[in-house]
């Protein structure tokens, strides 16, 4: 299994992510097994695609293709219903596909009335509006499965030349998520605001902040793929403290070492203390896989670059997700490695610091030779890095205003090259946005120029603290080990104006440990 080659990144709306932070030091705890749960499902769909998305087809032909995908959706709904599922999420572009032009996608679009203005049950009122066949099928599925259903489709809405942003052809075309209740009623719709090279669709005149209520788990927020990178709608939604759950549709192309789908999904749940229900499309030849049901403490995920089949994930999810507790209540707060981390932060009098090392009389003998920095491309960005060469030690590397630090131990030295990298600048490829990143990564080979390459297998096991003097509170903790395996931090949070991540007892070799920060105001 591996990520997609970077050349494919312009094909469709793959997602990049925003770092989301918490301002308290936290520690992992066991979930409260007495909490009330609901049963959720996400389906990673191997969609049936148009052989020529640029061709102009009739509505009948478009429906023939879409109904093939909807038939699969219906099968999954019925399977989920047998397991008592109360909400199911399907991926972005799963019904109609992708790579259309504005004209060629038009036959695939359903008319979309505003749920704020019209109460409508498409299954029970099929003739109320024209061109709503897809909405009708989805509504009937929700009834048949007796569950809330979230799906993504293309929609159209007529407009007048006097309307804000109305295109010259007199219609809006939106990338839309729809939410149906278990009785088939159209609860709400979300129109994707941050489009990713999607010529077929329009940006809505205003951003939708959609929160829908459920009888089984309270409030859910909803957004799509590339939206997750931006303040609106993702972060603004979570300002509502009653939003404990997010449903997320994606056509997400993996890009290692920092932005694989399951990495980001899990990090979102951890950073915000929410449940994150993420459905991605499944097209391994495009590097597209990775879905999951993620809580702040546990993930149920699917990542498969080998098999050409869809996959249904079902899990019980706490209605009130257990978050993380402060370090003051943690039983291992006086762990020697954490004590050393605190001494370094505090400028311990027994420690003599230079530009890249710390030497402490009360500590193990540290590497006396400060490693030279080097540069390598990672995620299309020019990272500054230092090699991680010893069995244990402390390293620092800086760029612009950000300094990244690593305190580490490992039981044995592997032949693999690891490096600690920093980036503090505008990311300018496939979107422009400002990021601050501290990353410990396994390199693709022994050469420095391989650091930042996409790899999925590793044998190096670390115990470490990773931290930086971030100037944003929006920070994503990313942890990925060999075989595309997710890990949860032992601790993370703020200490002395530095944000840190601590991890020990990795289950397998480390691929990536990173703190991915996002500065919206510098875009």
Of 24, 14, 86, which Cα lies nearest the Cα of 330? 24
- What is the H or E stretch that residue 61 is in? helix 59-82
Strand ranges for 74-210 from DSSP E: 87-89, 110-111, 148-158, 171-180, 186-191
d(CA 361, CA 351): 7
Show Cβ contacts of residue 153 under 8 Å, excluding neighbours closer than 6 positions. 95, 96, 109, 110, 134, 135, 138, 176, 178
d(CA 481, CA 262): 12
Here the tokens at position 427 are 């990311």
Q: How far is CA 210 from CA 86, 87, 338, 469, in A?
A: 19, 17, 41, 34
Q: Are 439 and 512 in contact (CB under 8 A)?
A: yes
Of 151, 59, 139, 140, which Cα lies nearest the Cα of 106? 59
Q: How far is CA 495 from CA 235, 384, 433, 501, in A?
A: 23, 24, 27, 11
Backbone phi, psi, residue 100, to 5° = -85, 160
Q: Are 48 and 287 in contact (CB under 8 A)?
A: no
Backbone phi, psi, residue 185, to 5° = -70, 140
- What is the H or E stretch that residue 123 is in? none
Q: Which residue has the tokens 């999951």?
A: 292
Of 68, 52, 65, which Cα lies nearest the Cα of 104? 52
Of 82, 79, 54, 48, which Cα lies nearest the Cα of 66? 48
Q: Which residue has the tokens 């278990």?
A: 182
Q: Which residues on adjacent β-strands are paired with residue 281?
A: 45
Of 519, 5, 15, 1, which Cα lies nearest the Cα of 264? 15
What torsion do the CA atoms of 101, 426, 436, 208 make, to the nearest 10 degrees? -40
User: What Rg do the C-alpha atoms of the chain give, in angstroms?
Assistant: 24
d(CA 304, CA 57): 33
The residues annotated with a catalytic role in the active site are 92, 192, 225
Q: How far is CA 294 from CA 248, 314, 362, in A?
A: 11, 11, 41
């Amino acid at each position: 299994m591996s990520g997609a080659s970077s050349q494919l990144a312009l094909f469709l709306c793959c997602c990049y992510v925003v770092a989301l932070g918490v301002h308290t030091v936290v520690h992992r705890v066991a979930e409260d097994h007495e909490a009330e749960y609901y049963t959720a499902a996400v389906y990673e769909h191997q969609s049936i695609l148009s052989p020529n998305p640029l061709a102009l087809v009739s509505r009948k032909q478009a429906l023939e293709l879409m109904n093939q995908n909807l038939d699969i959706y219906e099968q999954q709904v019925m399977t989920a219903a047998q397991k008592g599922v109360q909400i199911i999420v399907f991926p972005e572009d799963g019904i109609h596909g992708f790579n259309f032009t504005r004209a060629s996608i038009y036959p695939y679009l359903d008319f979309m009335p505003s749920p704020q203005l019209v109460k409508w049950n498409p299954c029970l009122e099929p003739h109320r509006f024209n061109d709503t066949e897809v909405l009708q099928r989805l509504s009937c599925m929700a009834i048949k499965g007796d569950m809330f259903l979230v799906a993504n489709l293309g929609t159209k809405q007529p407009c007048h030349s006097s309307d804000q942003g109305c295109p010259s052809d007199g219609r809006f075309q939106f990338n839309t998520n729809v939410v149906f209740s278990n009785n088939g009623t159209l609860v709400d719709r979300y129109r994707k605001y941050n489009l990713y090279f999607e010529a077929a669709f329009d940006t809505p005149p205003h951003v939708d902040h959609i929160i829908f209520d459920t009888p089984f788990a309270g409030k859910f927020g909803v957004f799509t793929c590339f939206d997750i990178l931006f303040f609106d709608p993702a972060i603004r939604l979570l300002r509502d403290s009653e939003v404990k759950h997010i449903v997320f549709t994606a056509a997400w192309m993996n890009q290692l070492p920092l932005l694989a789908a399951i990495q980001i999904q899990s990090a979102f749940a951890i950073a915000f203390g929410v449940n994150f229900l993420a459905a991605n499309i499944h097209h391994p030849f495009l590097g597209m896989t990775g879905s999951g049901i993620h809580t702040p403490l546990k993930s149920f995920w699917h990542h498969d670059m080998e098999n050409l089949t869809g996959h249904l994930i079902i899990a019980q999810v706490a209605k009130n997700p257990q978050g993380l507790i402060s370090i003051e209540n943690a039983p291992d707060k006086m762990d020697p490695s954490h004590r050393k981390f605190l001494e370094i932060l505090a400028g311990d009098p027994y420690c003599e610091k230079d530009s890249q090392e710390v030497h402490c009389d009360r500590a193990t003998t540290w590497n006396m030779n400060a490693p030279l920095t080097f540069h390598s491309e990672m995620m299309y960005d020019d990272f500054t890095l230092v090699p991680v060469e010893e069995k244990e030690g402390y390293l620092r590397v800086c760029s612009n205003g950000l300094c990244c630090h690593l305190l580490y131990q490992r039981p044995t030295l592997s032949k693999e090259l690891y490096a600690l990298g920093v980036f503090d600048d505008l990311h300018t490829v496939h979107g422009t946005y400002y990021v601050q990143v501290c990353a410990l990564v396994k390199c693709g080979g022994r050469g420095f120029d391989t650091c930042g390459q996409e790899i999925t297998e590793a044998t190096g096991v670390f115990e470490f603290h990773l931290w930086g003097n971030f100037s944003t509170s929006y920070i994503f903790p990313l942890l990925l080990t060999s075989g595309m395996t997710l890990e949860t931090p032992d601790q993370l949070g703020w200490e002395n104006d530095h944000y840190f991540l601590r991890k020990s007892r990795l289950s397998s070799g480390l691929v990536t440990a990173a703190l991915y920060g996002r500065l919206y105001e510098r875009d």
